[in-house]
Amino acid sequence: MDERDRLAERFEGHRPHLTAVAYRMLGSLSEAEDAVQETWLRTQRSGVDGVENLGGWLTTVVGRICLDQLRTRKTLREDSLETHVPEPVLSRADGIDPEQEAVLADSVGLALLVVLDTLAPAERLAFVLHDMFAVPFDDIAPIVDRTPASARQLASRARRRVQGAAPAPDTDLARQRKVVDAFLSASRQGDFDALLAVLDPDVVLRADSGEAMPSLSKLVRGARSVVAQALTFSKAALLARPALVNGAPGLVTVQEGQLLSVMAFTVVGGKVVEINILADPARLKRLDVSRLGD
């Protein structure tokens, strides 16, 4: 085995971790995988002679790449963050594939990614690297061109935003699935009262239809308003089926092998407190529906 092969083997050992970091930074698995590939290319070009902690070094490299992408995205993005839904990771309703486990560790639900999308790029990097992956502020500071104390402040501001806006979901998947199934059944039957019973009074529904259908993107607050939206799509609910969305019970609509929508639910105390719907055809095409099974 030559030096390049040994380096490739060592890099592959870190790939799941790097993908997990990049997904939390970018909110898109396809973009995360591209960022990890760019990390590999930079690793090949620069070499790792003298690098004592390869994992830490690679984490900072992928962090820089993601930070650059976030800054570019912030400049170019025209869609409203109010209705933007990140790209989910889909799995069969009966379990997550082993290779997805590292990406989805620590319950990275869409509700959390929605909040992370509202952070400034440097805040997001400081929070993700420190709070989620225990990277020291001394290592984060050079990435964001700040002092360690300033990097700590970035993470602290981000932490307050996340704690104030990202609900902590129930941990019992079976109980979550029961709530989501009740929502689906009530939607199919057009049962207003049954829908109202599974929703938190302050539930938030966020629908992202992308640039192709911007008029269908919306943010709806309050149980009665969300029920009215759910009843509008009662016919579409007939095509919906259970799946795991970022490791939590959700729903997907697939017709003739084409993914039409993904619904992610945040369940707290046995009630739905947030529903995030991705119906953007361009981004849905990037999702791997083969993981959903037949």
Strand partners, 243: 250
Distance separating alpha carbons of residues 280 and 290, to the nearest angstrom: 19
Q: Find the length of the chain.
A: 294
Residues 71 and 149 in one domain: yes
Residue 86 lies in a domain: no
Contact by Cβ (8 Å): 260, 239? yes
SS3 275: strand
Answer yes or no: is 87 within a domain. Answer: no
Same domain, 274 and 181: yes
pLDDT of the chain along its 294 residues, tens only?
Answer: 677 888 899 999 999 999 999 999 999 999 999 999 999 999 998 878 888 899 999 999 999 999 999 999 876 565 566 788 999 989 888 776 666 666 666 567 888 999 999 999 999 999 999 999 999 999 999 999 999 999 999 999 999 999 878 778 888 889 999 999 999 999 999 899 999 999 999 999 999 998 878 878 999 999 999 998 888 777 778 889 999 999 899 999 988 888 999 999 999 999 999 999 999 999 999 888 877 766
Helix (H), strand (E) at residue 199: strand 199-208
CA distance 209 to 283: 10
Which domain covers residue 52, as residue numbers?
A: 3-79+111-165
Tokens read off for 91: 């799995």
DSSP per position, 51-83:
-S-HHHHHHHHHHHHHHHHHHHHHHH--S-TTT
What is the spatial distance between Cα 69 and Cα 87, in angstroms, rounded to a whole number?
A: 16
CATH number at 130 reads: 1.20.140.160
Residues 261 and 157 occupy one common structural domain: no
pTM over 0.95: no
Sign of the torsion angle spanned by Cα atoms 41, 42, 46, 48: negative
218 and 273 fall within a common domain? yes
Whether residue 70 is found in the same domain as residue 116: yes
Q: Name the CA dihedral angle for 26, 169, 135, 41, rounded to a multiple of 10 degrees.
A: -30
243: nearest Cα among 280, 189, 293: 293
The pLDDT value given to residue 27: 93
The predicted structure's pLDDT at residue 122: 97
Q: How far apart are CA 254 and CA 294, in angstroms?
A: 10
Longest dimension (CA), the chain: 67
Burial degree of 180 (CB within 10 A; 0-12, 13-18, 19+) = buried
**What 3-state DSSP class applies to 112?**
helix
What does the pLDDT read at residue 110? 87
140 and 199 share one domain: no
Rounded distance, CA 1 to CA 11, Å? 15
Assigned domain for 100 exists: no
Rounded to a whole number of angstroms, the CA Rg of the chain reads 20
122 and 200, same domain (yes or no) = no
pLDDT value of residue 132: 93
